Chains A and B, each alone.
Chain A
Amino acid sequence: DTGVSQNPRHKITKRGQNVTFRCDPISEHNRLYWYRQTLGQGPEFLTYFQNEAQLEKSRLLSDRFSAERPKGSFSTLEIQRTEQGDSAMYLCASSSRVQETQYFGPGTRLLVL
């Protein structure tokens, strides 16, 4: 059990560019969650998957955001046409079939200039 991993750990981009983040959950965890955390705030839910199915999306997830989990293993979160307001820490978490506890990765810190 190597824990949840996220790549890259840091990303700096210019406004208008597209970015993609990857999350590798704990092996055999069937649920995967994405959250966003801005400075001084708690994480806010974005979306979650059970296996490859995306079961819920927050209203925070505008049309510029898309997430996939094609084979029910790793997941990607893409932000198109980034805006300065997208600057935040993007967190991924996973949980197993039998235990609801969510285990978090270290996050990807995005800075949009």
Chain B
Amino acid sequence: GNSVTQMEGPVTLSEEAFLTINCTYTATGYPSLFWYVQYPGEGLQLLLKATKADDKGSNKGFEATYRKETTSFHLEKGSVQVSDSAVYFCALSATGFQKLVFGTGTRLLVSP
């Protein structure tokens, strides 16, 4: 079946450090890929998405590129801020408008 694997956290960084959170997936066909973020005490928010191979999603300085050859969608940010501290979820949708399959989430802690 379809699945998403994320690196385990927590990921602990100092402010302005470079961030990578790894995400790989298993799916039939050509899924859409998403990163959602959950800030403390808040609901899930869409961070970025990509719907086909080689697409790059970006938002708020975060980027992720849909790599079909490596079945990956790694999240990156060049310089993290304390306010980026949250739990990040990688997810896929096997075909349009279908259910999301989530990874287990990666907690990011950024210290000043």
* Complex interface bits, A30-49 against B, C-beta within 8 A gives 1, otherwise 0: 01010100001111110010
Minimum CB distance partner of A47 in chain B: B99
Complex: A42 Cα to B96 Cα, angstroms: 20
Taking a contact as CB atoms under 8 Å apart, the answer to whether B100 and A45 are in contact is yes
- A62 contacts partner chain B, Cβ-Cβ < 8 Å: no
Contacts of A28 in B (CB 8 A): none
Tell which of A33, A100, A104 touches B96, judged by Cβ atoms closer than 8 Å: A100
Number of A-B contacts (CB under 8 A): 51
Tally A residues with Cβ within 8 Å of B: 24
Which B residues have a C-beta under 8 Å from some C-beta of A?
4, 32, 34, 36, 42-46, 49, 51, 89, 91, 93, 96-97, 99-105
Tell which of B4, B46, B89, B101 touches A103, judged by Cβ atoms closer than 8 Å: B46
- Dominant secondary structure at the A interface: strand
Contacts of A104 in B (CB 8 A): 36, 43-45
Minimum CB distance partner of B107 in chain A: A40
Taking a contact as CB atoms under 8 Å apart, the answer to whether B32 and A43 are in contact is no
Complex: A44 Cα to B91 Cα, angstroms: 11
